[in-house]
Structure formats: C-alpha cells, structure tokens
Amino acid sequence: MRRALSLLVAAATLLTACTAVGPRSLRYGRGTYNAAIQQTNSEQLLLNLVRLRYRDAPLFLEVTSISSSLSVELGAGLGGTIAPGGNSSVAPGTAVTYIDRPTITYAPLQGSRFGKQFLSPVELGDILLLYHAGWAIDRIFKVFVQRLGPMQNAPRASGPTPLEAPEFQAFFTATELLRSLWADGLVDLSYLPSVAGNALSLTLVSRTDSTERIARLCALFGLPGPASTITLTDAPRPGEPNAVLLVPRSLLGGMYYVSHGVEVPGEDYAIGRVPITRDKDGELFDWARLTRALMRVHYGRREPAGAYVSVYYRGLWFWIADNDLDSKSTFSFITQVLEMQSGELKGAGPVLTLPVAAQ
C-alpha cells in the first residue's frame, strides 16, 4: 500500500511539473535573457568607445541565437520515524528539480559586413528616420554629420584622436540655431521627391521671433540670403538654388567622435597611451568643448555604485553616470543606429557556440 501510494504521489507531482514547466520557463527565462543581452550589449558598446579613445581596435561579438532546454528531474522516496510504543510513521516524499541548459551562439562582426555596417557613411534616409523618431536635430547632426556647407564639424575626429585642434565653432553655432528652431516647432525635415535618398529638404518657418535666427542660419550655410527651404545633399548640382552640401559620417566615425568624451587619467597622457591634441598656440585642447553635451565617461580605480553602465579596462573602471541624461541619450542614440545598420546575419562567418550547464 505504501509503495503504491508513493508511486501515485510521484506520478501526480511529475504530471503537475510537466504541465507547469513550459509557462514557467517562458515567464522567468525570457525576461532574464532579455535583461542580460541588453546589459551586455551596453557594456560592449561602452568598452569599444573606451578602446577607441586609447586607439585600440574595437571588436563586436554578436549574440546570434539562444537555445534553451528546460528539463525536469523527479525524485521520490519514503521517510518516517520509528518510536517506542507503536508511534512509528511512514510518509512518501518527492523532489522536483528544474534544469536549464542554454546554448548561446556568438558571431564576431568582421569582414565585408563590418565594413558595410561600420565604415559606410550613414545614409541621408537614415538621418531622416532618426529625426522622425524624435531625436534632437542637433544631436543627429553633431554625431553623424562632419560637414554642412562651408562649416566643418571636426572631420578628423571621425578617426583616432588628431594632434591638432579641430574646427567646429561655426558648425556648433548652426546646430544650436537649428535646435532652438526645432524646439519651437519651426523646423521640418523631409525627402525631396525628385532625388529621394540623396537629398533632404529642410523647411524653416518664418515668424516674428524666428526671422533673425533663420537669417543667421542661412548666412552660416553660405546662402546669399534667408530661405524658407534648403536642400541638404551629399552631391549638390552646380547652380542649384539653396543647396547645401551635407557630408555624413560612418557609424564608426560617430563612435570615434563621441569617444573623445571618455576621460582618462593624466598619467596616460604623460606616458603616451593617449594622444595629446593641442591648439594653434600649443595649449592642450579640451575635447569636452565638443562632447560636453553629448557624452561624458568617467574613470576611477573602484567599481562605481549605481552607474548606468560600466566596464573594466586597462586597470580602470569606466562608466556613465545614471543621472547624466545627455550622455545616456547619446548612448541610446548610437545603440539605435547600431541596430539600424546591423542588417541580416546571413553569411556572418565563423561562430562560437557555448553550451552552458546550469543546475
């Protein structure tokens, strides 16, 4: 009787466990994997920004697939006590163990796919998509545009840190004017139907309080006078009215640009680990003049508490503060562009598959 009873209890427990294991694995597994991928992607991006600051080669390792196998192991037995006077007792016992065995596949981003994703200039259509996604127009232009008409936005900062101070003041003045007009709802960016994908139409709404700003902006663009519609193109045609050259950066160029917001210790400058940029007077150039409102990455000897994202590299901790909304916005912005440029994983080359046993 006792054996039969224990078998019945074990069978009922196993049936219950098998019925619940699917929904339970989805409820707890999906959120956990989602959070882990999001966190490690952020850490990988920050790590590569720090690498670029030190002129080290970046490397992206993508999670291409996760296959999780959840199994149930059931144990059953009898237990009891033996006491004098006939007070002995026997009771069946069961134990259910859930075992998650994930298989995670990684693919290093390299070859032609790396070139297409990171080295190709960002298309004007993607700039338009980012604009309509709600990103501030000055953030888009500062990170992914290196020339606008006659104005330079530190084009050599699209690569390793240059030794000479960049030219950027006029470009920043123009983007600040654009932002003020954008904040007032007086700017619109759209495709040009005739040359879709190669040119954008920048519409400026003239109002009593915007006339002066528009005139200053058009003068910075090199236009002969104020205009309500400006053509932004990567290949302006001779004689085209109100056409302004727009030269976009690549994704890697934008990452190099914001990587100048990574702070490094003075000793790394002294021993030549990080290049020193000087102005025309020979004074040390402060890259925070470009990146202050875009990106600021702190460093320290100890792991920071409560950071938005942090990584350990070259014996130091680097992190973005959780209350630095500008840096967090730029970081999320680059993450979104990284996803937009990623394309498909077909033909990604060699992969690394790691079976992980967890009990």
Local confidence band at 186 (pLDDT 50, 70, 90 cut-offs): very high
List pLDDT tens digits, range 239-281.
Answer: 788 999 999 999 999 999 999 999 999 999 999 999 999 998 9
Neighbouring C-beta atoms of residue 177, cutoff 10 Å: 21
Rounded distance, CA 299 to CA 313, Å?
10
pLDDT at 340: 87
Check residues 39 and 11 and name the one with the higher pLDDT: 39
Local confidence band at 73 (pLDDT 50, 70, 90 cut-offs): low
Q: Looking at this protein, which amino acid is placed at residue 86?
A: G
Local confidence band at 330 (pLDDT 50, 70, 90 cut-offs): very high
- pLDDT of 38 over the 50 cut: yes
Is 258 in contact with 334 (CB distance < 8 Å)? Answer: yes
Q: What is the pTM of this model?
A: 0.81
* Beta strands 243-248; 229-233: pairing state: parallel
Q: Would you state the structure tokens that stand for residue 308, as one six-digit string?
A: 């938005």
Average pLDDT on 204-229 reads 94
* Nearest in space to 168 (alpha carbons), one of 277, 274, 60: 277
Question: 117 — phi, psi (to 5°)?
Answer: -80, -40
> What are the structural domain ranges in the chain?
2-111+350-355, 120-341
Is 334 in contact with 143 (CB distance < 8 Å)? Answer: yes
pLDDT at 196: 44
List pLDDT tens digits, range 100-122.
Answer: 677 888 877 777 778 788 999 99
pLDDT at 320: 97
Local confidence band at 348 (pLDDT 50, 70, 90 cut-offs): very low
* Nearest in space to 309 (alpha carbons), one of 294, 299, 298, 319: 319
Residue carrying the six token digits 């409102």 = 293
List pLDDT tens digits, range 3-22.
Answer: 555 555 555 555 555 555 56
> What percent of the chain has pLDDT above 90?
57
- pLDDT of 347 over the 60 cut: no
- pLDDT of 133 over the 90 cut: yes
